[in-house]
Structures are given as structure tokens and as C-alpha cells.
């Protein structure tokens, strides 16, 4: 974890403790400051070295919070935090990671049952104690127990938004090592899978032990687990990193093998066998004339090993991008010359789902438009939340406020260097209706994103009909984060991806790939179902701050995992074509 992220986590913990005490104002102040610290492009510790006044350069960080940041970086804590922890001695982050358990719930369960840890919470639910606490019931208790199990599973894997930057930093660091000839991330991180068990890095070198020692000496390495000539494992950024070193002439074969997935490699191996060949981490070998009793990984005539492209070419296949290697038909498509020309980051021309401080964002309308332009977009749509049920409480806009915002958007549009659209993110209720915004207001907006925020299916039921009703709404243009999931925090709402895709294609409604790495919703296989059905995709960041436009890369690679091409993606089209789609 970077120091910015560590500081942000501490500020968020303090905000939760304040909320648990019944403080109605300060928690939001600290949470906004935490968000801005996490997104700050420079090391907050460098500011702290200059003093609290320098820390106040970060937007939303006032004098008091700045002093807390300096104290934390110098001592590992600050006085008010320790007082709050003493008053409520619980593992707040661990407990609130359980869906439905917020800071005030933690306070109630601590006062009534002495719940301090996830183990305590699980035990209380298993023993039927929670349903006896005033304000709780049997259904709440069952939901808590189910979500504790989900958190247990989630704790075994890290978010791509944490692992990929770490992998990139390690690759950059080792690339400067004299002994390393080539360096690449491997494993599920390279396939841009949404969660990863660890970070895999592959190096081509004839001096494996020296490369391992370089990683062990890295300033961000917290613990060295093992070192060796071909493998070194460390803990960095709170995550396990496995470094493998291979000889340069076998680097391509090893990279293909260690990138996976396992299922892709099994199918590729069977494809090789059909040709009298074998493929493994050491290369592609012609074994057609090898005696049956011959053994060894390098038996046969080696046909390729140095590059991945050579490996696939030796098997009669074009190069298959890492994102596609999930054994969902990519090898058959490669054999038939039918691989997609995948979407790239440069293809994306705009963002159709963003927020400002008018609802729950961290920046003004003008700041978000300017940030979109600086990012390189041709257009951006402002889609603050409407009133209604969901996770945003009283922060949503009424009909009258949306009309007032339309005037402000028009004023900003006149001075902007890019096209600026005005929309809304409305909640999809349990029946699929778009609630809290009148039809006449929806009709006047440039774009309507409809997203599920409440009633996400704790009973495990299928919600396909609800989502189909939403995409068929005459004013809905984009179905936002369709499953409502928060990776490692809240499971996805269940639905039939193929049925939803068919309905969206028929209705002319786009399905979103939400690029926030806590969501990545839709995900790869669901995107593939949409592409196959002819539905349109929108890859949006759901940005709540200027820094979050950078999350687009996660959305693009997730769309690539679903075989999406530029023609499939609404916001890869010119603005004129986008307007035609919307109207």
C-alpha cells in the first residue's frame, strides 16, 4: 500500500469512528479529504516533510486534518484517532467490509454483544445472537452471515487496481537492473482479471540470483519470503510478489505459460498435440519423430521459444492477446482467423458517466469538464445522481435542481474546448422503473444512465426481468453497472447476461462497463455475451474526481476481455454518431 493510500485509509477509519459516535458532519469532511489524498498525484509524505501547511495544498484538507496527516506519518497515529479507538475498540475496516454493516451498526453490535472482530461477528450470527438485538432480525442476521463468508473469500484476492500498478512499478524497477534483459508482468494481472491472488513477474536473465537480490533490496519490499536462482518471493505493498527468472532464449514460451489461464493453456496444449507438437514453458517442440519412451521437458526439435508471437506462430495461430486467454473460444477463433480487433485506450473519445460535487463528487462542474479535456476526451457527459433510493441518501438532485443544472452546463459548454452533454444517473427500482425523475425531465436531458443501487438481491434471486424492464424504458440510454457489485465488498446481483444483452440490443440501450476498479461491471464474459448479441457497450469511468478519469484503462481492458472492438463501444464513436444513438 502506498503512503497516500495508507494515510487515506487512516482518515477513513477515523471518519467511521466519528460516525459511530453519532457525529453527522465531520465524517464526510474526513472522507472527502481521504479521497483527495488517495488521488493526489505526488507523495503526501513529501508534503508532510514541509509541514502541515504544505499538506493543505491537497483539496479538502484543512488545518486540523493536515496536522493529523503529519502526526500519522511521523508516529503512525494521531491523538484523536487513538481516543476514538479506545472508545470503540473494534476492527472497523474489517467489520464494515461486510455488506450491510456500517459504522453505526458496528457501534450497536459492540454495545450489545461485544463484537470487535470479523470472527466475533460471524460467531454472533452463527449463534443467533444478532437477531435478538433491537433493530435487527432473523433476515438481517442471515444476510450478515452470508456476507461474512463472502468477505472471507474476498480477502484471499486483491483488486486489480492495487495489483496492476504494483506490477508496473516492479517491471519499471527491474528493467533498470543491469542483469535483466526483459521484464514483463505475468499471471492474471497481465490478463487484467479483476482480482489477483498475487503479483507474478517474469524476467529474462542469465543472472537469476542477482535479479532476485535486486527485488529483495527494492525500497518498497517489506519482507523477503524466499530467494533463489530461478524464483524469488517477497511481500511488497502488502501483497505477495513472485518473481521467476528464465534464460533469455526461453522467455517467450515462459511468458505465455505463466500468463495462463490454466484452461487456455490446456486447450493450447491439446491443439499442439493434434499437430504432433508439444508446448510448455520451455518452448514449442516437434515431437512427431520422438520415441514414445523418451522423456524430458525439452525433448524434440524446438520450433519456438524466444517470443510469444513465435510460440503461437509455431502452432499455426496468430498472436492471442492476454485478455482473451480464458478458454472462451479464442483458440478456435484464432484458428479460423476470426479474432477480434480489440478496443484500445486511444479508441475511446469520451466519458458518458461522471459526477460533480453537486451530488457526491469531489470537484465542480467546470473542473470535471476541464479534467476530461486534459485527459484527451472529445466529449464528456455530466450525470449526477437523481433523488431516490440507493446509497446516496440526500445527495441526489430533484427535477427542479436538474433543470437548474442544465443551465449551468449550458454556460460551461459555451466556454469548453470539448462537447459537454448533460444527463443524470437515476436509480433502477426493484421493478425496473427509473424512479425519482419525471418523464418530461428525462426527455429533455441529453443522456440518461439508469443504475441499480438498492434492492440488489440479498435473497439470491434472479433480477433479469428488473434489468430488462430498465433497458426497455423509452428514456434510458445506458444501463449503468448492471449488477451493482463492489468487488470484494458486495456480490453481484444475479441476472442472465445473454437475455439482458438481447433485450438491450433490441431496445437500442447501451450496457455499461463501469471502469471503476471496485466495480468493473459488466465483466469479461458478460461483455462477450453483449457483443455476441449485437448490443452496444459504453466504457465509462463513473468518475467522481478528476483523477478517476485514469480508471478508463481498467474499463478498456475489461471490455477487451469481453472481445469488444471499437465499433461495439458507444463512446469510441464521434460525437455526431453518439448523438444519433441517443436520440
Separation between Cα atoms, residue 270 and residue 281, nearest integer Å: 15
Instruction: Indicate the average pLDDT of the chain.
Output: 93
Kindly tell me if the per-residue pLDDT of 394 is higher than 70: no
Phi, psi of 318 (to 5 degrees): -70, 165
Residue of 331, 305, 326, 327 whose CA lies nearest to 316: 331
- pLDDT for 455 equals 80
Cβ-proximal residues to 445 (8 Å cutoff; 6+ apart), any chain: 402, 406, 422, 423, 424, 475
Separation between Cα atoms, residue 30 and residue 19, nearest integer Å: 11
Segment 318-341 mean pLDDT: 97
Cβ-proximal residues to 460 (8 Å cutoff; 6+ apart), any chain: 494
- pLDDT for 295 equals 75
Q: What is the pLDDT of residues 449-462, one digit of tens each?
A: 999 988 876 655 67
Q: Which helix (H) or strand (E) holds 182?
A: strand 182-186
Per the listing, cell 428488473 goes with: 466
Residue of 249, 152, 234, 161 whose CA lies nearest to 200: 234
Phi, psi of 74 (to 5 degrees): -85, -35
- pLDDT for 389 equals 67
Residue 153, CA distances (Å) to 120, 484, 489 in order:
17, 19, 10
- pLDDT for 505 equals 98
Give domain limits for the chain.
3-154, 158-246, 253-335, 345-582
Pick left, alpha or beta for residue 42 (phi over 0 → left; psi -120 to 50 → alpha; otherwise beta). beta
Binning pLDDT at 50, 70 and 90, where does residue 431 land? Answer: confident
Per the listing, cell 499437430 goes with: 275
Higher pLDDT, 433 or 340: 340
Kindly tell me if the per-residue pLDDT of 137 is higher than 60: yes
Name the percent of the chain in helix, strand, coil, to the closest 5: 50, 15, 35
Q: Which CATH number fits domain 253-335: 3.40.50.510, 3.40.50.620, 3.30.1330.60, 3.30.210.10?
A: 3.30.210.10
Same fold, 3-154 and 345-582: no
Segment 197-207 mean pLDDT: 95
Separation between Cα atoms, residue 268 and residue 280, nearest integer Å: 10
Asked whether the bond before 247 is cis by omega within 30 degrees of 0, the reply is no
Kindly tell me if the per-residue pLDDT of 388 is higher than 60: yes
Determine contact, residues 353/367, Cβ cutoff 8 Å: no
Q: What is the pLDDT of residues 411-421, one digit of tens each?
A: 999 999 999 99
Segment 550-554 mean pLDDT: 98
- pLDDT for 393 equals 53
Cell of 256: 505465455
Kindly tell me if the per-residue pLDDT of 1 is higher than 80: no
Binning pLDDT at 50, 70 and 90, where does residue 544 land? Answer: very high
Residue 283, CA distances (Å) to 248, 250, 300, 314, 435 in order:
12, 6, 10, 10, 58
Per the listing, cell 503526501 goes with: 44
Cell of 250: 526461453
Kindly tell me if the per-residue pLDDT of 296 is higher than 90: no
Residue 430, CA distances (Å) to 157, 319, 427, 503, 512 in order:
31, 44, 10, 18, 19
Kindly tell me if the per-residue pLDDT of 38 is higher than 90: no
Binning pLDDT at 50, 70 and 90, where does residue 218 land? Answer: very high
Kindly tell me if the per-residue pLDDT of 314 is higher than 80: yes
Kindly tell me if the per-residue pLDDT of 407 is higher than 80: yes
Separation between Cα atoms, residue 144 and residue 141, nearest integer Å: 5
Determine contact, residues 573/347, Cβ cutoff 8 Å: no
Segment 391-401 mean pLDDT: 78
Determine contact, residues 477/580, Cβ cutoff 8 Å: no
The CATH number of domain 3-154 is 1.10.150.110: yes
Q: Which helix (H) or strand (E) holds 491?
A: none
Residue of 59, 130, 117, 64 whose CA lies nearest to 88: 117
Alpha helices (H) along 260-387:
262-274, 308-314, 330-335, 365-375
- pLDDT for 150 equals 78
CA angle 234, 238, 242 (to 5 degrees): 30
Q: Using only the alpha carbons of the chain, give its radius of gyration.
A: 26
The architecture of the domain spanning 158-246 is 2-Layer Sandwich (3.30)
For 104-113, b where at least 16 C-beta lie within 10 A, e where not — what string? ebbbbbbebb
Binning pLDDT at 50, 70 and 90, where does residue 579 land? Answer: very high
Tell me the CATH class for 345-582.
alpha beta
Separation between Cα atoms, residue 110 and residue 104, nearest integer Å: 10
- pLDDT for 43 equals 84
Segment 252-257 mean pLDDT: 98
- pLDDT for 250 equals 97
| Percent with pLDDT over 90 in the chain | 78
Amino acid at each position: 500500500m502506498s503512503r497516500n493510500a495508507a494515510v487515506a485509509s487512516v482518515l477513513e477509519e477515523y471518519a467511521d469512528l466519528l460516525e459511530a459516535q453519532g457525529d453527522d458532519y465531520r465524517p464526510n469532511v474526513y472522507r472527502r479529504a481521504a479521497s483527495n489524498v488517495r488521488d493526489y498525484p505526488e507523495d503526501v509524505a513529501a508534503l508532510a516533510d514541509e509541514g502541515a501547511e504544505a499538506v493543505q495544498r491537497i483539496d479538502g484538507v484543512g488545518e486540523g486534518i493536515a496536522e493529523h496527516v503529519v502526526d500519522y506519518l511521523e508516529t503512525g497515529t494521531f491523538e484523536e484517532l487513538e481516543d476514538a479507538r479506545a472508545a470503540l475498540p473494534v476492527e472497523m475496516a474489517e467489520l464494515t467490509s461486510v455488506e450491510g454493516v456500517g459504522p453505526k451498526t458496528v457501534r450497536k453490535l459492540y454495545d450489545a454483544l461485544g463484537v470487535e472482530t470479523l470472527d466475533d461477528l460471524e460467531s454472533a450470527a452463527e449463534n443467533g445472537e444478532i437477531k435478538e438485538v433491537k433493530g435487527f432480525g432473523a433476515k438481517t442476521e442471515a444476510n450478515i452471515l452470508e456476507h461474512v463468508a463472502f468477505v472471507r473469500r474476498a480477502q484471499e484476492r486483491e483488486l486489480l487496481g492495487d495489483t496492476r500498478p504494483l506490477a508496473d512499478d516492479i517491471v519499471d524497477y527491474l528493467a533498470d537492473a543491469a542483469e535483466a534483459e526483459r521484464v514483463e508482468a505475468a499471471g492474471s494481472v497481465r490478463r487484467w482479471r479483476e482480482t489477483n491472488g498475487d503479483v507474478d513477474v517474469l524476467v529474462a536473465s542469465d543472472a537469476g540470483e542477482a535479479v532476485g537480490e535486486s527485488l529483495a533490496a527494492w525500497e518498497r519490499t517489506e519482507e523477503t519470503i524466499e530467494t533463489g536462482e530461478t524464483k524469488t518471493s517477497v511481500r511488497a505493498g502488502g501483497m505477495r510478489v513472485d518473481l521467476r527468472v528464465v534464460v533469455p532464449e526461453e522467455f517467450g514460451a515462459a511468458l505465455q505459460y505463466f500468463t495462463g489461464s490454466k484452461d487456455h493453456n490446456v486447450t493450447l496444449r491439446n491443439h499442439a498435440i493434434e499437430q504432433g507438437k508439444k508446448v510448455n514453458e520451455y518452448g514449442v517442440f516437434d515431437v512427431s519423430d520422438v520415441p514414445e519412451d523418451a522423456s524430458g521437458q525439452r525433448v524434440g526439435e524446438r520450433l519456438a521459444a524466444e517470443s510469444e508471437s513465435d510460440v503461437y506462430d509455431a502452432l499455426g495461430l496468430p498472436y492471442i492477446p492476454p485478455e482473451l486467454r480464458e478458454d472462451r473460444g479464442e483458440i478456435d477463433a484464432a484458428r479460423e482467423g476470426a479474432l477480434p480487433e480489440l478496443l484500445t485506450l486511444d479508441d475511446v473519445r469520451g466519458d458518458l458517466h461522471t459526477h460533480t460535487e453537486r451530488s457526491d463528487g469531489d470537484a465542480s462542474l467546470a473542473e470535471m469538464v476541464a479534467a476530461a479535456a486534459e485527459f484527451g476526451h472529445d466529449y464528456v457527459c455530466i450525470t449526477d445522481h437523481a433523488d431516490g433510493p440507493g446509497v446516496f441518501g440526500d445527495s441526489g438532485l430533484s427535477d427542479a435542481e436538474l433543470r437548474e443544472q442544465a443551465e449551468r452546463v449550458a454556460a460551461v459548454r459555451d466556454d469548453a474546448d470539448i462537447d459537454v452533454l448533460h444527463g443524470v444517473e437515476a436509480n433502477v427500482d426493484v421493478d425496473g422503473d427509473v424512479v425519482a425523475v419525471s418523464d418530461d425531465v428525462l426527455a429533455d436531458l441529453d443522456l440518461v444512465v439508469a443504475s441499480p443501487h438498492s434492492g440488489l438481491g440479498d435473497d439470491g434471486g434472479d433480477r433479469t426481468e428488473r434489468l430488462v424492464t430498465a433497458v426497455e424504458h423509452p428514456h434510458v440510454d445506458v444501463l449503468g453497472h448492471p449488477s451493482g457489485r463492489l468487488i470484494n465488498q458486495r456480490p453481484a446481483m444475479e441476472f442472465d447476461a445473454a437475455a439482458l444483452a438481447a433485450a438491450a440490443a433490441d431496445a437500442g440501450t447501451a450496457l455499461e462497463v463501469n471502469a471503476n476498479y471496485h466495480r468493473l461491471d459488466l465483466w469479461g464474459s458478460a461483455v462477450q455475451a453483449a457483443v455476441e448479441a449485437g448490443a452496444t457497450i459504453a466504457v465509462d469511468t463513473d468518475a467522481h474526481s478528476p483523477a478517476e478519469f485514469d480508471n478508463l484503462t481498467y474499463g478498456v481492458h475489461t471490455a477487451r476481455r469481453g472481445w469488444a472492438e471499437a465499433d461495439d463501444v458507444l463512446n469510441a464513436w464521434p460525437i455526431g454518431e453518439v448523438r444519433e444513438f441517443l436520440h
